[in-house]
Structure 1
Amino acid sequence: MGNASNLLYSTCNAHSANLLAGDIVSKPVNSKIMRKVTTVQKDFRRTGLTDLLLKAGGHKPALPCATRWTSQRSAGESFLKNLSTMKTVTTACEVEAESDKDTIRPKPIVSSRLFNQKFVASVKSLVDILDPVAKLTNYCQKSTSSVADAAEKWLELLQDGPVALRPFVESRMKQSNILNDVTLTANFFHPIYRGKRLNEDQHRQVTSYVFDKLKGPALESLHGFTKGKGAFASLAQKKIVSPKAFWHFADQLGHGELATFALDYLKIPASTAQLERLFSNWAYVHNDIRNRLSTETSKKLVNTNFTLRTTDEIIEDDDEDFEMEGEQFGTDDESDQDE
């Protein structure tokens, strides 16, 4: 990042989650399972078998793809959802083949896997491990997800996720530097998370980082926030979910410096997905037909589109918090001093 010391940045959590899925599938035993699943799915994607599968009430088999995130989980789920129907189709094809040798039917190796309970159980176990990773990937791509949210989800996966998944999560978090200073600080200042899942070393890391950044009155405000004293005690009682609303009221109650500092971190998106969508929107606005739009006009159109979409997604949460009247959170002479 060169000399851009004031630039706040973190890893793309969606990309890191996708790498986590790759770590799991690349393990030899899991890689072998996924290859076998792919063989079955490809066989049932043959024109004749796909038609029979769909007529029997099944779905078109999904295949894993290196360039499509969560596709390994999707392929495994597709196999399990279609399993009963694929068995029915296979049995019907075998019966018909006895009188008509030209009948299309699954390959023998595919048929054997469908009726192999041990193999089916191994696929289910792999899907159970990949499912929370896929949910993490999708969650981090949401426009409303911040690095504070991402940190909470990673820690939740590490502490409460499937036991077989935890070693992979711990390794990937270290490799991708998920819990860096910026991410931990954002999680600490979130009105709901408040760094409750952080261990002692991580709390010390946040404390050291924040104390190095804040000065004077902001440090006094930090004390009130950490201890839940004064205005922050009133705010905590209201259980405000929205970080924006929480720190808005903190600002009104005389903690402007800390509020500005906290929001700088809480506004950081969890992934680059939102930025990529912005580029896509720009290409839609400034297309071949409208190629004479000026840069300034296209910027305004893209900004309008982005603002409307974002507002639609977060307005319900924000309205719920902002409808509360300011006087509910204490009076002007309320102090943050310890009693």
Structure 2
Amino acid sequence: MSTPARVEEPQVGLPGVSPAGTAATAYTPQDHEKVETILKWLDDHKKSRSWLSKKSSIPSGTLSQVLGAKYISSPTRQLNQMLSVLQVEGERLKDGTPGYIKGSVHKLMGVVLDRTRKHQNFGVITGYVGVGKSRCLKEYRELTPMTLLVEVSPNMTPGVLMTELLEQLNNAVPPGLDRKFRELVRVLKGTNYLIVADEAEKMSSSALEHLRRLRDMAQVGVVLVGTEKLTNLIKPQHGQFDQVRSRVGMWPETIQRISRDDADDMARIGLAEAGELPDDVLDTLWAYAEGSARVLNENLIPAIKDYGMGSLPLSGALIEKIAAKVLFMAKPRAEAK
């Protein structure tokens, strides 16, 4: 009596995990976790894979293979692109932070950021302290997927810089400077990522050189943002950073102040509960702010909210009183007697 042939049950595994006895995939344990995170997010937010494909600029067929664990090469780069999109979608509405004014500084910086991403070269943005550069960069990052924003610490070293970038990419951080650099090149190459360094003049010369080399090898755009000190650092021909200077595609003049229209819009939104602001209030705020978005938004408007709302309607004289007695600000030079 012959024994019936045994029918083997198909082996079923988790996404991205090869069943026992089959060839190993290119997926790392971190990749498996990213796949699960993405699939859960799509399910929780009732979003389709075709939506994610369009948002992340990944062909639908490739995206399906990556999320179905059928992609034969390393899926890390594509998974990071997807996670970047989901992070932006989950953090805020497309309108941006309430109260944020997309004024003259925002428009200028947006042009430099977008063009540098498109052409994969260097961009440089410089501006006086307080004009709103950092706030604009945070808005841009939140609303624009695949933007890596590094807030530079004093004398930031190459190792700290690359660790920060890898962590923002949700990527494992290998030991050793050279391995970190090569991992960044591997993950970023062929993508549409933009690296932005805020307060770039504080970066160590070695870190800036690694950033230049990363741009060359990974072919991604890099924007350096800082005060006028950044100009003095990079601008000289045949200087220490001549190789960075020679790669700069856009470098507008230093932003010295916000525009009067910007300041008026900020005041109207920040003091909306006071109703329509008369011209003398707007004139006085503009005089005291002296073109600084920081002075207006972080000093004047909060002080008026705390000490002026009980004396509506607001007036220029009341603003002067609050500026003098609460903020200890001298009268603007144009008004000083």
Pair in the same fold by TM > 0.5: no
More strand by share: 2
Q: Which protein has greater RCO, CA pairs closer than 8 Å, 6+ apart?
A: 1
The bucket for the TM-score relative to the shorter chain is under 0.3
